[in-house]
Amino acid sequence: MSDLPTIVSTRLVPAARHRCLRGAALVVWVALTVALVGGAFRLASAEQRPGERRELRRALAPLVQNGGVAVGENGRAVFQYAPGTYTPGSIIKLATALAAFHYLGPDYRFRTEVYRREGTLYLRGYGDPFLVSEEWQRMAAALALRGHFASPLRGLVLDGSAVPDGMPVEGAANSLNPYDARLGALVANFNTVFVSVTPGGTVRSAEPQTPLTPLARQLARSLPPGRHRINLTANGISGLSYAGELAQAIFTQSGARFAAPARVGRVPPGLRPVLVYRSSRPLREVVGGMMEFSNNFIANQLVLAMALHIGGEPASMEAGMALLRHYLLEQLGLRAEAFALEEGSGLSRKNRIGLDAMLAIVDAFHPWAHLLKKYGKAPLQVPAKTGTLKGVYTLAGFLPAPPGQRRPFVIMLNQPRHTRAEIFRRLAEAFPSHALPDR
């Protein structure tokens, strides 16, 4: 394993960056705890490594130029090839999900609060990553049922102060790609718009549940014919502005009448919410969606949600990542030098983690293996998560195992040649489900 600088440093405790003493105290507390925790790694030790599997090692040699492969069984490593420290890509989402389950709970539901004063509605968000059009429709129905749309409204105000709007993520580019969307407290449809452009240039919403707003129409003007999902924040548009347009359009469909366009502002002090809307999806379903689509936006919204829940407002990536690191050290017993993580989705090439540490994370994810997509071709399909960047090809999941057994595996390639699928095939042949590994 290559040497990494310790993750405990003053750069992880940037109190000056926090606008809230409580948030700064959280980062300091976590960093101090990290410094005190040595952490024993559960899976691999020199005593636990089995004898060399010469045939498998010979097969892997031409396939792995820079990378490592590991297989575990019931909490210990039974095979390692080229242990070292690598860029994990999206398989690090397993760590983010585990930390979110730990701090928030699998049944946690994100909330959005609605306030009212003198005919104006105020919406305050707390980082719900799945605030899609269907959720806005449910919120509108709840408000209509309570009579808030019975008379004309003066306006709609969006309060995203719990998380600085448009927060960037290490590794994300300023592109139209949805995976580069910025983060926030009150974000509609993952800060993206999905439009359809006809050959004649007519712009329509590509989703029947989503009204076409002026901002969506503006973004689609120069697009070629076809269907496009666009990161709206790449154009300098505030996610709060789009959330306001979409909410106002959906509320209008439910009977609301507004005298003015939506605007960004703050909830007046002293008001009590007229509605605390809870997401229809518990956290375990949110994580399932994140895994199914490898959604980077959801992953880093979860990092912010942890910071909000534990440290208060305003949330920051520094505070959330400190909590993620603390979870890996305190709960999984990883060594501080085994990883260095900058964000929770796998976008950043600065993310680094040891092969054995990644295997421990996969092993801990076993109770949630059903949330992973199936990888491979019939008859061999296993629950696993892929990670792909240019020159980064990773895979982590569970090989078939006898009843009552669990067999986590990790493939981490940081090389131009993409041999992930062939390596997986070799592992499956070497570790058949009907037999235990050689010792």
pLDDT per residue as tens digits for the range 344-375: 999 999 999 999 999 999 999 999 999 999 99
List Cα–Cα distances, 228 to 52, 175, 216, 297, 429, in angstroms: 51, 13, 11, 18, 41
In degrees to the nearest 10, what's the CA dihedral of 39, 385, 166, 227? 180
Report the alpha-carbon distance of residue 275 to residue 6 in Å, rounded.
45
pLDDT per residue as tens digits for the range 39-72: 333 444 433 344 448 899 999 999 999 999 999 9
Contact criterion met (CB below 8 Å) for 74 and 437: no
Q: What mean pLDDT do residues 27-50 have? A: 40
Q: What is the largest CA-CA distance in the chain?
A: 77
Domains and CATH numbers, the chain: 10-105+285-430 (3.40.710.10), 111-281 (no CATH)
Quickly count: other Cβ atoms within 10 Å of residue 11's Cβ: 10
* Residue whose structure tokens are 């489900």: 433
pLDDT per residue as tens digits for the range 142-182: 999 999 999 999 999 999 999 987 677 888 766 556 667 78
Q: What is the 3-state secondary structure (H, E, C) of the chain?
A: CCCCCCCCCHHHCCHHHCCCHHHHHHHHHHHHHHHHCCCCCCCCCCCCCCCCCHHHHHHHCCCCCCEEEEEEECCEEEEEECCCEECCHHHHHHHHHHHHHHHHCCCCCCEEEEEEECCEEEEEECCCCCCCHHHHHHHHHHHHHCCCCCCCECEEEEECCCCCCCECCCCCCCCCCHHHCCECCCCCHHHEEEEEECCCCCEEECCCCCCCCHHHHHHHCCCCCEEEEEEHHHHCCCHHHHHHHHHHHHHHHCCCCECCCCEECCCCCCCCCCEEEECCCCHHHHHHHHHHHCCHHHHHHHHHHHHHHHHCCCCCHHHHHHHHHHHHHHCCCCCHHHEECCCCCCCCCCCEEEHHHHHHHHHHCHHHHHHCCEECCCCCCEEEEEEEECCEEEEEEECCCCCCCCCEEEEEECCCCCCHHHHHHHHHHHCCCCCCCCC
pLDDT per residue as tens digits for the range 307-345: 999 999 999 999 999 999 999 999 999 999 999 999 999
Compute the C-alpha angle 46/41/421, nearest 5°. 80
pLDDT value of residue 179: 64
In percent, the amount of the chain with pLDDT more than 70 equals 85
Task: Quickly state the pLDDT bin for 433 (edges 50, 70, 90).
Answer: confident
Closest among 418, 365, 434 to 43, alpha carbons compared: 365
Contact criterion met (CB below 8 Å) for 209 and 134: yes
Report the alpha-carbon distance of residue 136 to residue 209 in Å, rounded.
10
Task: Quickly state the pLDDT bin for 221 (edges 50, 70, 90).
Answer: confident
pTM, full prediction: 0.88
